[in-house]
A and B are shown apart, each in its own frame.
Chain A
């Protein structure tokens, strides 16, 4: 079930400072929104959409970062006028929310190692999935995050608290990308057989395409969290299309946001 509801902002936290040359509000934020209706329903990997300004006709989708059954946390980076407006939310502000949308994630029953590979703000998609997976499975869980810029590093403490293995690097300091981290992890000899690994990735599309290629070559199960401009988020408007290698079409909002990377036509 998907509901349209009004949520109340409980708290807004600036997780990463961003770049001062990009404006005073630049950065990465966490917004805690009181919305029991959605918080009770949401499953890991699902997203909500937030109403935008009058000159933006489309709502903005965000994966739910965490939930306590009453509130949900959204983590977002300021990328335009709408996210900049969200970055100025004050406690008590009412926000129009629609959700939970999309399909929840699933863990392969025989997976012995789960790897979550985030590129930049893509890491924000993994908050709830990792917390859920930790409770759900005995499998080894590795969270890896590659950031381009030190000023956008966020979330590491949250994952550390969950008690999972954490690897991260910034391109600025370590000269390593998320893809480099992925290769590094795969060199770890204590990993189980490739067929017992399940990898989830979220980040810029070229990064995900590269990771998908590496996994395909190694025979590793790879799931990607995709993003597309979304009209209705309900499977109605057929706007957020994803082309599959089979020639079929899928939609991020109703079939996704998580897709089997080997089925996605990365040139489509």
Chain B
């Protein structure tokens, strides 16, 4: 690992962000014109042209993109069409809510997935393993919005333990975290089980057992450490799942994060806000993946990014 590697990865990340900006800019324009939603049917072509010009949408697409990207580099995503406020400011206001929900969901997901995944591998083909498989299958196949609604129904209405929705770093976090965490847990659980199964069948595990190393040490030190790479990889990939799931979860629980505002922005064809939200989520994902790349080296010294 070297500074050069970090710089290379940062350059790749920038290139990815640039590609992402082009894709989201192009796709948002393909979904239609916000003027359609803003101007009444009786509006004359002059009225429409006037509103378009006021939003800068009358310029050629390339010019619009250039303005957008050159401002975005400076942290300015433009003015939200729907709320007439700085899109960057609106997203930054929501950033903590999304980050907190993502972190708690990932933490919950890992808390559920790792012990069950490991124990399922250790107790392969037992009732525990089979139950784990069913839980994982349910977690992966259950739509997030549906699971969220079920949680509201059972734990807000039938057993009134938690609020139905709303924001706060307290009990308001519980149901959204479970909704998102359960989805994350399912994938990590499956990969943990597979990776541990492979690791438990290796020669060094057999040797460790033959040498009389306690079983808990065989599992946690010898097997788990060596199974960590695929687990870390799926965990990083789940960061994208969390961000994607946050869009739905935040909407169901009225959690004021980037996902919820992104949905509003998409329906309102609020281009600056949509573009800003996607770029921000993309950036989070890239940063998480960069961190994971660095962590690989610490987990497995055989991995090196230095070209020989």
Q: Do A and B originate from a single complex?
A: no
Residues of A within 8 A of B (CB): none
Q: Identify the B interface with A (CB < 8 A).
A: none
